[in-house]
């Protein structure tokens, strides 16, 4: 059995197996292997079972862990903007003195100021910044992370960002899923939404396709960004060309979630202002709702109606939205834990939101559960009960992280 590797012993292995894609989950539904081991072969999980039985089988590749650990599937942060230059601490101060996020944006600060800094930055600087943030994510147990462009807003600068994201993916052990968010805001060089979106279609999309830089596109549907009506032909064009769509929607005003359903998006992210109409429409669709509590904490606005979304039967993922403006903290576990307290979420619902439901938001099928044939992406925390992890509100860091079976 020399090609097998055994991980363990674990006090608990929270497998996330056989849990539903949509709707509420009680902790009692979790399938937990007590005193377990995880058997791996060729970067993939073979099975989970009692540790002692595997020890008896004398698996060659095995160094027993010393202490008590709880294992979970490696976490998936399915919405971030961690490729950027500069910072926005002055926006933070302004918001704390009462200026709104949208007003900061209207007067030329906000996203635009990060665009100016990111355009000026060298590829090397952007890459270094990203690598540092990837290391921080790893400490919180994240093994897969989505990263958006969207601070370039020209062919040259969006391509620069996507190339940096690609390089970071090859340099760092975490898996990066790139997304093009060229439709973040209308850059100053363009007179209106339509002329900019037409430019993206004719000038940017063919380059992205040629260089195979991403398979997903995002758009910010909001006042001071893009309207539903002007976005439809852009989104339809992308779909016809085989790209997946995700939408920043219902953050300050509703509209984005219904558009996401209409255009068959994979996910709609934010949803702080979603009401009954949006929630019941989402429940009838296959669109994954992605909650971004870090943006509510950063801006000081309500959390999304996470409890209601789950109770109505929506699939809820939770992500950090890590970016220099609305969500500068980047600690997914802290944010998910705080969301759980305010929105009354079970630990099972939170862990589903950052494991297999987050995988659903990225259309990835091979991770998010500790089960046979899944990628051996695993995180272990030093504690004896999985409920201690969220209780520590992000302060309990991962003791071990395995990516495709390899200890990082």
Contact 360, 21 (CB under 8 A): yes
Q: Does 222 bind Fe ion (CB under 5 A)?
A: no
Interface map 267-306 toward ligand NIG (x if CB under 6 A): ----------------------------x-----------
Q: Does 339 bind ligand NIG (CB under 6 A)?
A: no
Interface map 250-269 toward ligand NIG (x if CB under 6 A): -x------------------
As given in the structure block, the two tokens for residue 165 are 């994201």
Q: Among Fe ion, ligand NIG, none, what binds residue 113 when CB lies within 5 to 8 Å by partner kind?
A: none
| Share of the chain residues as helix, strand and coil, in percent rounded to the nearest 5 | 40, 20, 40
If one counts every other C-beta atom within 10 angstroms of the C-beta of residue 253, the result is 13
Contact 17, 378 (CB under 8 A): no
DSSP-assigned letter for residue 203:
I
CB of 273 to ligand NIG, least distance (A): 12
Whose Cβ is closer to ligand NIG: residue 24's or residue 298's? 298
Among the listed residues 122, 45, 46, the one whose alpha carbon sits nearest the alpha carbon of residue 85:
122
CB of 324 to ligand NIG, least distance (A): 6
Q: Among ligand NIG, Fe ion, none, what binds residue 251 when CB lies within 5 to 8 Å by partner kind?
A: ligand NIG
Q: Does 114 bind ligand NIG (CB under 6 A)?
A: yes
DSSP-assigned letter for residue 318:
E
Out of 22, 81, 172, 367, the only residue in the binding site for ligand NIG (CB under 6 A) is: 81
Q: Segment near ligand NIG (CB under 6 A), from 207-215, 232-240, 280-288, 322-330?
A: 322-330
Residue nearest to ligand NIG (CB): 325
CB of 235 to ligand NIG, least distance (A): 17
Q: Does 95 bind ligand NIG (CB under 6 A)?
A: no
Q: Are strands 288-291 and 316-318 parallel, antiparallel or unpaired?
A: parallel
The torsion angles phi and psi of 109, rounded to 5 degrees, stand at -90, -145
Q: Among Fe ion, ligand NIG, none, what binds residue 355 when CB lies within 5 to 8 Å by partner kind?
A: none
CA torsion through residues 223, 330, 188, 178, sign: negative
Out of 217, 220, 303, 356, the only residue in the binding site for ligand NIG (CB under 6 A) is: 220
Q: Does 147 bind ligand NIG (CB under 6 A)?
A: no
Q: How far apart are CA 369 and CA 377, in angstroms?
A: 9
Which residues, including other chains, have CB under 8 Å from residue 153's CB and lie 6 or more apart? 115, 182, 184, 185, 187
Please count the residues of the chain: 408
Given the rule CB under 6 A, which residues bind ligand NIG? Answer: 81, 110-111, 114, 220, 248, 251, 295, 321, 323-327
């Amino acid at each position: 059995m020399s090609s097998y590797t055994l991980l363990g012993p674990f006090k608990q292995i929270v497998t996330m197996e056989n849990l539903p894609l949509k709707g509420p989950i009680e902790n009692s539904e979790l399938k937990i292997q007590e005193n377990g081991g995880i058997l791996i072969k060729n970067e993939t999980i073979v099975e989970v079972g009692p540790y002692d039985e595997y020890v008896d089988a004398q698996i060659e590749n095995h160094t027993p862990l010393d202490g008590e650990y709880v294992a979970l599937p490696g976490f998936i942060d399915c919405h971030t903007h961690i490729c950027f230059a500069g910072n926005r601490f002055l926006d933070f101060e302004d918001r704390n003195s009462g200026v709104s996020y949208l007003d900061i944006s209207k007067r030329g600060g906000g996203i635009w100021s990060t665009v100016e800094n990111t355009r000026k930055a060298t590829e090397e600087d952007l890459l270094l910044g990203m690598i540092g943030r990837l290391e921080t994510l790893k400490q919180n147990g994240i093994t897969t992370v989505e990263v958006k462009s969207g601070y370039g807003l020209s062919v040259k600068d969006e391509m620069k960002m996507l190339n940096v994201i690609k390089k970071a993916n090859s340099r760092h052990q975490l898996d990066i899923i790139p997304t093009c968010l060229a439709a973040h805001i209308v850059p100053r060089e363009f007179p209106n939404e339509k002329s900019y979106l037409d430019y993206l279609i004719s000038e940017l999309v063919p380059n992205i396709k040629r260089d195979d830089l991403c398979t997903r596109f995002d758009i910010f549907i909001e006042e001071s960004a893009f309207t539903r009506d002007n976005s439809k032909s852009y989104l339809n064009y992308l779909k016809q060309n085989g790209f997946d769509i995700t939408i920043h929607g219902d953050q300050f005003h509703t509209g984005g979630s219904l558009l996401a359903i209409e255009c068959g998006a994979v996910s709609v992210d934010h949803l702080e202002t979603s009401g009954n109409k949006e929630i019941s429409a989402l429940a009838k669709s296959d669109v994954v709702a992605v909650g971004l509590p870090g943006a509510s904490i950063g801006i000081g606005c309500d959390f999304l109606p996470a409890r209601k979304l789950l109770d109505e039967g929506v699939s809820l993922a939770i992500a950090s939205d890590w970016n220099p403006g609305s969500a500068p903290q980047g600690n997914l576990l802290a944010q998910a834990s705080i969301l759980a307290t305010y929105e009354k979420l079970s630990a099972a619902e939170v862990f589903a939101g950052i494991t297999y439901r987050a995988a659903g938001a990225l259309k990835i099928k091979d991770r998010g559960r500790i089960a046979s044939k899944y990628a051996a992406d695993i995180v272990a925390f030093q504690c004896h009960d999985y409920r201690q992890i969220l209780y520590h509100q992000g302060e309990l860091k991962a003791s071990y992280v395995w990516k495709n079976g390899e200890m990082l």
